C-alpha cells in the first residue's frame, strides 16, 4: 500500500483516529507494522509526531501523490463501513467521531499545526463540528438558527473556547509577545484555561495557565480588599485624613492653599499624589505645561512695567545694518517654531525601573512624600501608584503589622496559594521570564527591578488560575447577602457595593471606583449590542501585562444592576421605561440559562453565588493591552448555554 509506505498521510489519519475513536488504532497498528512503518500510539495529548517509513519519502513524493488521495478515500470508506450495523444504520457510538474524522482528513491536507502549547486543525468542517452542527439531537428542543447562536442568543462551550483561542492568538501575533495565558470560570467553576507560546524563550518552556507572572496593578484590587475588610471591622474610616493614621506624612498645599488627602482619595486616584516621573523634576510630566505657565506669569510680574512686552536687544540696529543682515522688523518678531516634545510613556520613566531595595514602607515614602501635588485633592482623576504606597502605610498603621506580612496573611485567607510578593531571592516554581522590545523591535530580556517600593500598587506575582479565584471571591461577596444560605463572603455585599461605586459622574472618575476599574452597563441604541456591568483591573509592569475582568449575572443592589439607557437621552422621561424593559429582558434570558446550566448537577442551587463570568489574561511583554481581550472573552462565555 503506497499510503502506508509513504507514511505521512497514514499518520495523519491515525493521529485523528487516536483523538476521535481510540479502538480503531488497534486495527491500524498491525497494518502499519506489516508495511514497514513503525507503529506509534501515545495517550499524551500534546504529542503529534507520527510514524514514518524506513524508506526515503522523497522517492515516492511525486509518484504517489494521486495514490495517497485515492487510498485515503478508500480507507475512510472502509472505516465508515465498519461502524454500520447489519441494517446499514450508523452505530450511534461511533457515527459522530467518524464524521469528524472524514471532515478532518478529506477537506484539508495541512493536518496538525503546532500553535503555542496546543495542536489545532485548520478545517472549516471541524469548526462547524465545534459550533454544534454535527450534533443534531437537541435535548431542550431549541432550534439552531445560525452558525454561532441559537434562537435564545446562546452559543456552545466549544464555540466560546474557539473564540477565546482566536482572541488570544490575535493579540499574541499583533504585538509579538512570547506568550499569553488565559483562564475562565463560569458561575464559580473553571471551564477553560490555556497557555500559548512560551513562558521562557531561551529554554523553550511553554506558557501554561499556572505560569507565575507579575500581575502589576491588579495588586491594587487586592489592597482595596484588605482596606474593605478593615472598614467592615470599623478600624478604618475612608474619609479621615492620611495624617490621622500616618502622622509623619507631611501636610500638603496646592497653589498656596492647605489641602487634605483622605483614604478614599488614595483609593480612587483623586489625591493628587504624583505618579512616576521621567527625570529629576518633581512635577509630573502631565502637569508640566501648567507649571511652566505659572513660572512665566511670576517672571513677568516681577519685571518693571516698561519692560513688559516684546523683548528687544540692547543694541539698536540702523536701517542699513538691517538691510545688510537681511532682517526686517516683521521677521524679527516672528516667533521660532518649537518642535513638539515627544511624550514620555510610563515605561520610559526612570522610577519605573527602580532597583533600590526599600526594607520598610516608611522608607519607600521618602521617594515622593516631599514632592508637590499634581492636582488639588478630589478635583480630578490622576492615576498614581505612589498613592497606594501611602495607602499601604495607612494599612500598616491600623493593623500594627508590616504591610508585606499583612498582604501574605490575606492571600492565605483568600486561598491564593500561587500568589506571592515579587521578590528575586525566593525560589518560585513556574515563574515566567519577562520581555520587552529594543529600538529595533527585537525581543529582549527586561532589566532587573525591585518592587519593594510598591507592594500595594503593583508588587505581586500570581497565576491566571489564582487571579480567577480572587475574582470569584469578590463575586461571591457581592452577590451573597446576609439572609442567604451558605457561608458568608470574605466581604459583605454592602462593602462591595461601596467599593464598586464610581468616583464621579464624568470621564475617568465615572469608570473607576475604590481600587477597581468599572465597565458601566450600556446600550446606546435599540437592537444594538448590549454591555452588562463589569468590574476588574488591568496591570502594566516591567515585562508583563495583565487583566482581570468580572462579569456578574446579577447583583442584589439596585445601583449596580444592568441598565440599558441611551446616554444621549439619559435625562428624558422615557429612560426609566427603557431601563425597566432592558432589565426584564435580561432577567428572562438569565433565568432561561440557569435552568439548563450543567453546574446545577453538583447539588448547588441554580441561584447560589457566585453567578457570573471571571476572566484573567496574562502576557509576558511590557506595554500590551490585555483588558479588551479579557472583556471580549468574558462576554463570549456570558452567552454560553452548556446544554448545547
Catalytic residue positions?
217
DSSP H helices, 400-458, are 403-414, 455-458
CA-to-CA distance for 545 and 538, rounded, in angstroms?
A: 8
SS3 399: helix
Q: In this structure, what C-alpha cell is assigned to residue 282?
A: 518633581
Q: What's the angle, vertex CA 537, arms to CA 536 and CA 538, rounded to 5?
A: 140
Query: What are the backbone dihedrals phi and psi of residue 212, each rounded to the nearest 5 degrees, phi first?
Result: -90, 125
CA-to-CA distance for 615 and 441, rounded, in angstroms?
A: 30
Instruction: List C-alpha distances in Å: 13 to 18, 35, 71, 425.
Output: 9, 16, 11, 49
SS (H, E, C) 523-583: CCCCCCCCECCEEEEEEEECCEEEEEEEEECCCCCHHHCCCCCCHHHCCCCCHHHHHHHHH
Q: What's the angle, vertex CA 223, arms to CA 220 and CA 225, rounded to 5?
A: 115
Q: Of 486, 462, 466, give the one whose Cα is nearest residue 476.
A: 486
Q: Of 114, 144, 122, give the one whose Cα is nearest residue 47.
A: 114
Contact call for residues 359 and 452 (beta carbons, < 8 A):
yes
CA-to-CA distance for 395 and 391, rounded, in angstroms?
A: 6
**Pairing relation of β-strands 112-115 and 534-541?**
unpaired
Instruction: List C-alpha distances in Å: 579 to 330, 412, 528, 559, 611.
Output: 63, 41, 15, 12, 22
Q: Of 37, 26, 30, 29, give the one whose Cα is nearest residue 3.
A: 37
Q: Of 109, 88, 156, give the one whose Cα is nearest residue 12.
A: 109
Q: Of 637, 618, 444, give the one whose Cα is nearest residue 553.
A: 637
CA-to-CA distance for 221 and 267, rounded, in angstroms?
A: 10
Q: In this structure, what C-alpha cell is assigned to residue 54?
A: 524506513
Q: What is the DSSP letter of 624?
A: -
Cis peptide before 610 (omega within 30 of 0): yes
Query: What are the backbone dihedrals phi and psi of residue 640, each rounded to the nearest 5 degrees, phi first?
Result: -80, 135
Cell match 478515500: residue? 73
CA-to-CA distance for 488 and 476, rounded, in angstroms?
A: 9
Q: In this structure, what C-alpha cell is assigned to residue 158?
A: 466549544
**For residue 156, with 0-12 CB atoms within 10 Å meaning exposed, 13-18 middle and 19 or more buried, which class applies?**
buried
Amino acid at each position: 500500500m503506497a499510503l502506508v509506505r509513504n507514511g505521512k498521510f497514514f499518520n495523519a489519519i491515525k493521529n485523528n483516529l487516536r483523538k476521535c475513536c481510540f479502538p480503531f488504532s488497534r486495527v491500524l497498528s498491525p497494518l502499519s507494522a506489516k508495511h514497514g512503518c513503525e507503529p506509534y500510539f501515545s495517550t499524551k495529548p500534546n504529542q503529534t509526531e507520527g510514524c514514518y517509513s524506513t524508506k526515503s519519502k522523497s522517492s515516492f513524493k511525486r509518484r504517489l501523490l494521486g495514490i495517497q488521495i485515492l487510498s485515503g478515500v478508500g480507507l475512510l470508506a472502509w472505516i465508515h463501513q465498519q461502524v454500520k450495523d447489519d441494517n446499514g444504520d450508523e452505530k450511534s457510538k461511533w457515527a459522530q467521531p467518524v464524521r469528524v474524522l472524514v471532515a478532518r482528513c478529506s477537506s484539508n491536507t495541512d493536518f496538525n499545526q503546532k500553535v503555542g502549547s496546543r495542536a489545532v486543525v485548520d478545517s472549516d468542517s471541524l469548526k462547524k463540528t465545534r459550533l454544534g452542527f454535527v450534533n443534531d439531537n437537541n435535548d431542550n428542543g431549541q432550534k439552531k438558527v445560525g452558525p454561532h447562536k441559537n434562537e435564545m442568543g446562546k452559543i456552545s462551550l466549544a464555540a466560546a473556547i474557539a473564540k477565546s483561542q482566536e482572541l488570544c492568538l490575535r493579540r499574541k501575533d499583533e504585538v509579538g509577545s512570547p506568550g499569553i495565558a488565559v483562564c475562565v470560570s463560569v458561575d464559580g467553576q473553571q471551564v477553560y484555561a490555556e497557555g500559548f507560546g512560551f513562558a521562557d524563550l531561551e529554554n523553550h518552556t511553554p506558557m501554561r495557565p499556572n505560569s507565575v507572572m507579575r500581575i502589576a496593578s491588579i495588586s491594587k484590587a487586592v489592597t482595596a480588599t484588605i482596606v474593605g475588610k478593615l472598614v467592615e471591622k470599623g478600624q478604618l474610616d475612608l474619609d479621615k485624613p492620611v495624617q490621622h493614621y500616618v502622622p509623619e506624612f507631611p501636610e500638603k498645599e496646592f497653589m498656596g492653599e492647605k489641602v487634605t488627602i483622605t483614604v478614599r482619595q488614595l483609593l480612587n486616584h483623586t489625591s493628587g499624589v504624583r505618579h512616576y516621573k521621567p527625570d529629576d523634576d518633581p512635577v509630573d510630566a502631565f502637569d508640566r505645561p501648567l507649571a511652566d505657565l505659572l513660572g512665566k506669569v511670576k517672571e513677568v510680574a516681577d519685571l518693571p512695567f516698561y519692560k513688559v512686552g516684546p523683548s528687544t536687544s540692547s543694541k539698536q540696529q540702523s536701517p542699513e545694518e538691517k538691510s545688510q543682515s537681511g532682517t526686517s522688523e516683521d521677521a524679527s518678531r516672528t516667533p521660532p517654531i518649537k518642535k513638539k516634545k515627544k511624550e514620555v510613556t510610563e515605561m520610559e520613566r526612570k522610577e519605573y525601573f527602580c532597583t533600590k531595595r526599600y526594607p520598610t514602607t516608611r522608607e519607600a515614602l521618602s521617594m515622593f512624600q516631599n514632592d508637590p501635588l499634581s492636582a488639588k485633592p478630589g478635583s480630578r482623576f490622576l492615576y498614581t501608584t505612589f498613592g497606594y504606597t501611602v495607602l499601604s502605610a495607612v494599612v500598616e498603621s491600623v493593623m500594627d503589622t508590616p504591610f508585606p506580612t499583612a498582604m501574605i496573611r490575606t492571600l492565605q485567607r483568600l486561598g491564593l496559594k500561587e500568589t506571592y510578593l515579587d521578590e528575586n531571592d525566593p525560589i518560585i516554581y513556574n515563574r515566567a521570564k519577562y520581555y520587552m522590545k529594543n529600538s529595533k523591535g527585537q525581543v529582549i530580556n527586561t532589566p532587573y527591578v525591585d518592587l519593594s517600593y510598591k507592594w500595594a500598587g503593583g508588587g505581586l506575582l500570581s497565576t491566571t488560575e489564582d487571579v480567577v479565584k480572587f475574582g470569584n471571591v469578590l463575586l461571591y461577596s457581592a452577590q451573597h447577602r446576609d439572609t442567604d444560605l451558605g457561608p458568608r463572603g470574605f466581604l459583605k455585599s454592602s462593602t462591595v457595593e461601596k467599593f464598586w461605586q464610581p468616583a464621579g459622574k464624568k470621564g475617568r472618575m465615572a469608570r473607576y471606583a475604590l481600587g477597581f476599574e468599572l465597565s458601566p452597563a450600556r446600550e446606546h441604541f435599540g437592537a444594538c449590542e448590549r454591555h452588562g456591568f463589569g468590574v476588574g483591573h488591568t496591570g502594566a509592569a516591567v515585562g508583563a501585562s495583565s487583566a482581570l475582568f468580572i462579569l456578574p449575572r446579577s447583583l442584589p443592589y439596585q445601583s449596580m444592576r444592568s441598565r440599558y439607557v441611551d446616554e444621549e437621552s439619559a435625562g428624558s422621561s422615557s429612560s426609566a421605561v427603557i431601563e425597566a424593559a432592558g432589565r426584564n429582558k435580561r432577567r428572562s434570558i438569565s433565568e432561561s440559562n440557569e435552568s439548563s446550566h450543567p453546574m446545577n448537577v453538583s447539588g448547588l442551587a441554580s441561584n447560589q453565588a457566585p453567578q457570573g463570568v471571571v476572566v484573567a489574561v496574562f502576557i509576558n511583554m511590557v506595554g500590551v493591552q490585555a483588558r479588551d481581550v479579557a472583556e471580549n472573552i468574558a462576554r463570549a462565555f456570558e452567552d454560553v448555554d452548556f446544554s448545547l
